[in-house]
Structure 1
Amino acid sequence: MPRRAPDPAQVRAELLAVAPWVRDPDGTERPPRPALAAAVRSSLRTLEHAAPGHSVEVRVPPFGAVQCVEGPRHTRGTPPNVVETDPATWLALALGLLSWDGAADRVSASGHRAGEIARWLPVVDVHRTCEKP
């Protein structure tokens, strides 16, 4: 049974809560681990629901991983299409502060379908939304 879809207002609030640090990690205090975890997990779940499927696995250690994008389902071993990155890079992608192409040196993407997740990014575009949670 698929997980329940995240509440868009909650996802937005969680992402905007960490946005100042994502924008300026050297000049802003790092958010508490629970805030980072919540932002990563809710944005991954949003991607999972926006791009349902099992052909690409998106990993953001240590906080979470989801399978998404329609296509062949992978069930055993290492999936052929994997995207893996650190929390700061994922959050920058999820917020629209970093483009998929701009993140090329900060994202490990293997498999010919991995880049398809760019179609569903950003999860919350801070350039197009009011900054108040």
Structure 2
Amino acid sequence: MPVRLRPATQDAVAAALASRTSADDKLLVKHFLAVLAERAPGASVEVRVPPYAAAQVVPGVRHTRGTPPAVVETDAATWIALATGGTTWAEAVAAGAVVASGERTDLSAYLPLTPTNED
């Protein structure tokens, strides 16, 4: 896992969730992408949360060059809500807050990524 995508400590996550500044959102996005990468290791789906980070996850055909065949893109607030259980995958997709194209892009089996689900 790239150094930039390491899970944060539970204390850091709790503090970031409480204050939710731009710096906190950056920490939370990277933390939850790192947790997803641990729970769904692979490289068949690229999850993008601009401008903060992206991660390749989910077992399957590895993507190496050009535009990935399977992409999930959302904003930081939606990603954090998905990761913490504030919204569901179906709700976010229906609202247009998540754009998912390609195979294996339904991440509902991996969400939420709350601390109780990380262990």
1:121 aligns with 2:103: no
How far did 1:16 drift?
3.7
1:56 aligns with 2:56: no
1:67 aligns with 2:62: no
Total equivalences in the alignment: 114
What do the CA deviations read for 1:18-64 (whole angstroms, capped 9, x no partner)? Answer: 5467xxxxxxxxx3221110011010001011100000000000110
Unaligned runs of 5+ in 1: 22-30
Instruction: Supply the distance in 2 between the matched residues of 1:80 and 1:7 (Cα, whole angstroms).
Output: 26
Instruction: Supply the distance in 2 between the matched residues of 1:55 and 1:81 (Cα, whole angstroms).
Output: 7
Instruction: Supply the distance in 2 between the matched residues of 1:54 and 1:17 (Cα, whole angstroms).
Output: 31
How far did 1:94 drift?
0.3
What do the CA deviations read for 1:55-80 (whole angstroms, capped 9, x no partner)? Answer: 00000001100000000001111101
Identity %: 42
Q: Could you tell me which residue of structure 2 aligns to residue 27 of structure 1?
A: none
Q: Secondary structure at the match of 2:114?
A: coil
Question: Retained in 1: the 8 A contact 2:82–2:112?
Answer: yes
Q: Secondary structure at the match of 2:36?
A: helix
Q: Could you tell me which residue of structure 2 aligns to residue 47 of structure 1?
A: 36
1:112 to 83, 86, 103: 103
Structure number with higher helix proportion = 2
Unaligned runs of 5+ in 2: none
Larger radius of gyration: 1
State the TM-score, normalized to the length of structure 2: 0.83
State the TM-score, normalized to the length of structure 1: 0.75
Instruction: Supply the distance in 2 between the matched residues of 1:112 and 1:58 (Cα, whole angstroms).
Output: 13
Question: Retained in 1: the 8 A contact 2:17–2:24?
Answer: no
Question: Retained in 1: the 8 A contact 2:16–2:25?
Answer: yes
